[in-house]
Structure 1
Amino acid sequence: MHKHTADTGRLRFSKMHGAGNDMIILDLRNAQDPSRELCKYLANRNKGIGGDMVLGVKAPRNPLSVASFDIWTAQGESSRQCGNGARCVAAWLVRAGVTDACEFTLDSPSGTHRVRVMEGGTYQISMGAPNFSPAAIPVFGFTEPQADYEVEVAGQNLVCAAVSMGNPHAVIDAQDKDYPIPAVGSALQNSGYFSPDVNVGFVQLESRNKIKLKVYEYGAGETLACGSGACAAVAVLARAGRVDRSVDVELPGGTLEVTWESDLSAMYLSGPAEFVFDGELAHAVV
Structure 2
Amino acid sequence: MKYLKMNGLGNEFVVLKSHERLHLGENQVTALHRPQDSLGFDQLLSIEPSDYADCFMGIWNQDGSKVAACGNGTRAVAWAMMEETGKDEISIETEAGILYAKKAGDKFVSVDMGEPRLKWDQIPLSEDMQTIRMELQIGPIDNPILWGPSAVSMGNPHCVFFVENAETAPVKEIGPMIEYHPLFPERTNVGFAQIIDRQTIRLRVWERGVGETLACGTGACAALVAAVRRKLVDNKARMKLNGGDLFIEWRQSDNHVYMTGAVETTGSGDLKI
TM over 0.5: yes
Match of 1:3 in 2: none
Distance, in Å, in 1 between the alignment partners of 2:270 and 2:139 is: 44
Show the 5 A alignment for 1:259-278. Answer: 259-262=249-252, 265-278=255-268
Residues 103 and 117, structure 1, Cα contact 8 Å, conserved in 2 = yes
Q: Distance in 1 between matches of 2:151 and 2:21?
A: 37
**Count of residues paired in the alignment:** 268
What's the counterpart of residue 171 of structure 1?
160
Q: Distance in 1 between matches of 2:4 and 2:131?
A: 41
Q: Alignment partner of 1:15: what SS?
A: strand
Which residue in the other structure is 2:18 paired with?
Answer: 28
How far apart, in 2, do the equivalents of 1:131 and 1:235 lie? Answer: 10
Aligned CA distance change for structure 1 residues 163 and 122 (closer, same or farther; 3 Å) = same
Q: Which of 97, 110, 133 is matched with 2:96 structurally?
A: 110
Question: Percent identity among equivalent residues?
Answer: 28
Deviations 1:171-205 (A, max 9, x none): 00112573321221111122201124300000001
SS of match in other structure, 2:63: coil
1:144 deviation in Å? 4.1
Q: Pick from 106, 109, 134: which aligns with 1:149?
A: 134
Separation in 2, partners of 1:144, 1:191: 15
Question: What amino acid sits opposite 2:19 in the alignment?
Answer: R
Q: CA deviation at 1:159?
A: 2.4
Deviation string 1:202-225 (CA, Å, 9 cap, x unpaired) is 000111111110000011100000
Is 1:52 aligned to residue 37 of structure 2?
A: no
Q: TM-score, normalised by structure 1?
A: 0.88
Q: Secondary structure at the match of 2:203?
A: strand
Q: Which residue of 1 is the match for residue 194 of structure 2?
A: 204
CA deviations over 1:85-125 (Å, ceiling 9, x no partner): 0010011112222xx23223211110111111121210000
Q: Which residue of structure 2 lines up, in the alignment, with residue 7 of structure 1?
A: none
SS in structure 2 at match of 1:46:
helix
In 2: Cα distance, 1:221 partner to 1:229 partner:
13
Match of 1:79 among 58, 63, 67: 67
Aligned mates of 2:165, 2:39 — CA distance in 1: 38
Shift of 1:48: 6.2
- Counterpart of 2:108 in structure 1 is 122
What residue identity is the alignment partner of 2:126? F
Are residues 1:15 and 2:5 paired?
A: yes
Q: Distance in 1 between matches of 2:62 and 2:154?
A: 20
CA distance in 2, matches of 1:102, 1:90: 9
1:44 Cα deviation (Å)?
3.5
In 2, the alpha carbon distance for the partners of 1:50 and 1:155 equals: 39
Aligned to 1:213, the other structure's residue is in SS state strand
**Partner Cα separation in structure 1 for residue 193 and residue 29 of structure 2:** 30
**Counterpart check, 1:93 vs 2:81:** yes
| Deviation of the 1:264 alpha carbon | 5.5
**Counterpart code for 1:85:** G
Distance in 1 of aligned mates of 2:253 and 2:229? 7
Coordinate RMSD, CA, aligned: 1.9
Question: What is the alpha-carbon distance in structure 1 between the residues aligned to residue 87 and residue 165 of structure 2?
Answer: 45
Q: Residue 246 of structure 1 aligns with which residue?
A: 236
Counterpart Cα distance in 2 of 1:138 and 1:39: 25
Q: Which runs of no fewer than 5 residues in structure 2 stay unpaired?
A: none
State the Cα deviation string for residues 116-172 of structure 1 (Å, max 9, x = none). Answer: 11212100001111111011111223x242321122557665321111111000000
For 1:90, the aligned partner's letter is: A
5+ unaligned residues in a row in structure 1: which ranges? 1-10
TM-score, normalised relative to structure 2: 0.92
CA contact (8 A) 2:131 2:152 kept: no
Tell me, yes or no, if the aligned pair for 2:30 and 2:62 is still in contact at 8 Å.
yes
Work out whether 1:42 is the aligned partner of 2:12.
no
Alignment match, 1:161: 150
**How far apart, CA to CA, are the structure 2 residues paired with 1:88 and 1:61?**
21
Mapped contact 1:189–1:195 kept (Cα < 8 A): no
Deviates more, 1:207-216 or 1:154-163: 154-163
Separation in 2 of the partners of 1:101 and 1:176?
42
